[in-house]
Structure 1
Amino acid sequence: MAHSSTRGATSTRTVTSSPLSDKHALRQHHRCVPGTGDRVVRLLTPEAQRPRALLTTASVGAMLRATCVGAGARCTCPVQPTDAHHEEAVRGCHVTMPAPARGRGLRDNAAMGEPTASGPTARTQPPHGRSGPTTTYVLRAELDGAAPAVWRQLAVSPGLHLDELHVVLQAAFGWDDYHLHRFSSDPDDPWGQPAYLCPFEIAEGDTGVPAELVRAGEVLTDAGERLRYIYDYGDDWRVTLTLEAIETHEESAPPAACRDGHGAEPPEDCGGVPAYEVIVGAQDPSHPDHAELLAEFRRWFSAEDDPARIRLTPFDADTVNARLADLDLGSPPRPREVPVAVADLLAGVGGHPVRRRLLRLLAEAAIDAPVTINPDAAADMMRPYQWLLERVGEDGIKLTKAGYLPPAHVEAAMHDLDLWEEWIGAGNREDLTIPVLDLRESAQQLGLLRKYRGRLLRTKRGGAAASDSVALYQLLAERMPPARRGTAEHRAGTVLLLALAAGVDDTDDADALVTEALIAEGWRHTDGTPLDMWTIRAVQRPTMGVLQRIGALERDRASPGDLTPTSRARPFAHATLATTPHSTDTGETS
């Protein structure tokens, strides 16, 4: 019987050690941690879920995320060795998160694009099949081992990717996509090769191809061919997909439809086919083995237990088709290269429905298109940062003992950059003058400035771009979002930039997308409560602050508390996400 998740369980800060040591045992344990949706799990006890699902009001870097390696290896824990929590975090940690690619670069092997030429995720090329729009596949999807038979007849486009076929099967059998899954072209062994894997298994380094890169028409080419599918490695639902016929596609036909079927929907987490058969027989007085199966059911539970409490939904083609109609099928063109930040985001949300919306935004963002920079617009947009870089100069600025800009520089910034409309007060203490404080701190986060021995100094790249607004524009675009990779702020900034690059012109829509993406990845408050509007805005603040400062966002005159995109937002957001021509790049930049 499966022990994996139900959605919506909250996270905990508990970090404890585990007796599990070998890799296979660790991976199997990860798959059975409650409350994770069977996605990437790194803490090794059922009580300690979703290491990244913690938000703090201070530094996210101080969170107790189990990202250390075992004894004798280099510690990758974000908690610094001087932190009181570090020793505890190390003791409870035996695995490491997938190593982030260095630099901005592109990554295409972990979540989005073409796998690398070798290694555990190397692509085994499927046969070149019928992936065009002129045909329809008639598939029989039958649950292995069930008696009487449980099957669905589906008409699908061969152009569907296997990750889309996965959600079609979930709808067809009434499952909720709580667990891991995979496909295999081995007709005899669903665990055989070639295997087409869900995002978690790709991140784990399992041998196979990302399911999202392979179309049904590539792995099924002729009538009679079979594809194997497994869902929930605990309950072990095994489905054999047989290509019954290839028909001419009708233009009005949906990308997936259910034509026929038999057998009630197998309940989630019921125990697999053996338990399903017991439940079906125990509920049906006309079943020839009803008495025996009812007794078996009560041996499992209690002598007075009523099997009818487990709801069995009879097969109904109209119900299945209504579910299929709600699916967002038919993917947009998928770029072979994506920025590392977007690849991280897509890997993080896993198979959640928000993933497909993010992919559509990625297509609409046209990140393969060349970046064009208007020099006049760049000069106007970069003025605040150029002013600050020039003010710091080659010699730097001596900071106050508390680490702030001296009053003279704060007053100059308020005057020269016309910041009085944004703030009230004397405008001479940086800690009390938020527009200046945000400008200086964002310049540090973007790598333009640094603190050293009580002085504020230019970085090498910041100094080189100080007098060149186009170069500074490019540098800012490269360094966005202004937050440490892997933090909630970085994730939120990435979603916001993707939305703006795709032309989303309402920040409320962007807020909703950020909310759904962060929830899909498992972020919660440290007390386990769901994210609220204030938190969503707070984690977007570093990115929104830069965008507002360069004129890509402006105050809504009708609602001064809101920001709206300007005509500068989309070109700049596109520049932050635009790819380079290095198609084999896996994250390292030259």
Structure 2
Amino acid sequence: MASCSIYQLNAEVKGYKPRMWRRFQVSEDITLARLAYIIMTLFEMRANHLFDFEIRINLNKSKLIKELGRKNIEIPRKSLLKIIKIGLPDSQTNELDESIYDFNIFEVKMKQLITPDMPKIKFRYDFGDNWEINVKLEKIIIDEVLSKKGLPRVLKGKGYGIIEDCGGVDGLKSIAEAYSEKSGEEYENYCEWLLDDDIDLVSFDIEDMNNRLKKIPRIYEKLYEDGIYPTEKEIELIERNY
């Protein structure tokens, strides 16, 4: 069996206390889009919004952009900040807004931008609620036994994840506080909205999440890349109706 280079990453929801984080492993040759689908699954994001990545680089931006394939492009001086932005193309035209993004998220491999020299990258989801996930490369493992079929996998974590359209970190904190008290008008309103009177935002089930990682990233790939919406059965899986 050929050796498999594994990226071990740590991801944490920025600004939320108690810490909500995951330690997980992926194959080194996945695209940044695939990494995004994995992160979304890990933190209960349900593919209802746009997302992107941002990475601060420690070398010349113009040189890096050309090395990664964009050779025939004028780069304004004001854009030569040491930040690379990688985003989705327009869903209708399939064109990338080059005034905002340096790369198409479907075309860049994770290992091209996350390296031991540049180990940190920021994932953003839902630009209204503005969820930010700080991702850091912990180590690269050369495994002679593990097959890529065993990846991605989560090793450890804490916290449930986000709740869609709740208002971001502050909204999630309000929900956590209301459910900890289990009484009052705010609690009743949340119960009615979320159709659940007992949400646990602290626990994390590794076995269940590893099962979800086998299926959900593929559903998100079909949605964002092929415009194929989830089936009723897939929606039930995403929304944990099982």
Query: Aligned partners of 2:187 and 2:137: how far apart in 1?
Result: 45
Q: Which moved more, 1:220-229 or 1:153-162?
A: 220-229
Residues 424-443 of structure 1 aligned to structure 2 (within 5 Å): none
- Residue number in structure 2 paired with 1:353: 222
Paired residues of 2:43 and 2:161 also in contact (CA < 8 A): yes
Q: Distance in 1 between matches of 2:173 and 2:118?
A: 28
Q: How far apart in 2 are the matches of 1:157 and 1:304?
A: 42
The aligned counterpart of 2:164 is 268
1-side partners of 2:152 and 2:5: how far apart? 12
Q: Is the CA contact (8 Å cut-off) linking 1:133 and 1:158 kept in structure 2?
A: no
Cα distance in 1 for partners of 2:187, 2:87 equals 42
How many residues get paired?
193
For residues 195-228 of structure 1, what are the alpha-carbon distances to aligned partners after superposition, in whole Å with 9 as ceiling and x for unaligned? Answer: 1111238544433200111111111111781011
Aligned to 2:25: 155
> Could you report, residue by residue, the CA deviation over 1:459-510 in whole angstroms, capped at 9, with x for unpaired residues?
xxxxxxxxxxxxxxxxxxxxxxxxxxxxxxxxxxxxxxxxxxxxxxxxxxxx
Rounded Cα–Cα distance in structure 1 between residues aligned with 2:134 and 2:21: 9
Letter in 1 for 2:8: V
Check if 1:231 corresponds to 2:120: no
In the aligned structure 2, how far is the partner of 1:239 from the partner of 1:268? 15
Say which structure, 1 or 2, has more relative contact order (CA 8 Å, 6+ apart).
Answer: 2
CA distance in 2 between counterparts of 1:197 and 1:264 reads 26
CA distance in 2, matches of 1:274, 1:354: 29
Q: Residue 62 of structure 2 aligns with which residue?
A: none
For the residue of structure 1 that corresponds to 2:214, the secondary structure is helix
**Secondary structure at the counterpart of residue 18 of structure 2:** coil
Matched position secondary structure for 1:218: helix
1:223–1:243 CA contact under 8 A, matched in 2: no
Does 1:182 pair with 2:52? yes
Mark the structure with the bigger radius of gyration. Answer: 1
Q: Is the 8 A contact 1:259 1:317 kept in 2?
A: yes
TM-score for both structures, normalised by structure 2:
0.69
Shift of 1:327: 4.6
CA distance in 2, matches of 1:148, 1:304: 20
Stretches of structure 2 that go unaligned for 5 or more consecutive residues are 58-80, 231-242
Structure 1 gaps of 5+ residues are 1-131, 330-350, 359-515, 521-590
Q: Return the letter of the residue paired with 1:255.
A: L
Give the corresponding residue for 1:257: 153
Higher strand share: 2
Report the Cα distance in structure 1 between the residues aligned to 2:160 and 2:186, rounded to whole angstroms.
25
The alpha carbon displacement at 1:133 in A equals: 6.4
Answer yes or no: is the 8 Å Cα contact 2:34–2:221 preserved in 1. no
Residues 439-588 of structure 1: matches in 2 within 5 Å? 517=228
2:237 maps to: none
CA distance in 1, matches of 2:223, 2:44: 20
Quickly say closer, same or farther: Cα 1:221–1:280, change in 2 above 3 A. Answer: same
> Contact conserved, 2:178 with 2:187, CA < 8 A, in 1?
no
* TM-aligned CA distance change 1:251 to 1:280, over 3 Å: same
CA shift in 2, pair 1:306/1:354, >3 Å: closer
CA displacement, residues 524-583 of structure 1 (integer Å, 9 cap, x when unaligned): xxxxxxxxxxxxxxxxxxxxxxxxxxxxxxxxxxxxxxxxxxxxxxxxxxxxxxxxxxxx
| Contact kept in structure 2, 1:133 and 1:157, CA below 8 Å | no
Match of 1:243 among 128, 137, 151: 137
Amino acid at match of 1:272: G
Query: Secondary structure at 1:183's aligned position in 2?
Result: strand
Partner Cα distance (1:307, 1:196) in 2: 35
Moved over 3 A (4+): 201-205, 306-314
1:401-436 deviations in whole A, cap 9, x for unaligned?
A: xxxxxxxxxxxxxxxxxxxxxxxxxxxxxxxxxxxx
What amino acid is aligned across from residue 208 of structure 2 in structure 1? T
Residue equivalent to 1:451: none
Q: TM-score, normalised by structure 1?
A: 0.30
SS at match of 1:321: helix
CA distances 1:40-78 after superposition (whole Å, capped 9, x unpaired): xxxxxxxxxxxxxxxxxxxxxxxxxxxxxxxxxxxxxxx
Q: Write the distance in 2 (CA, Å) between the matches of 1:304 and 1:225.
A: 40
Is the contact made by 1:181 and 1:230 (CA closer than 8 Å) also made in structure 2? yes
* Coordinate RMSD, CA, aligned: 3.1
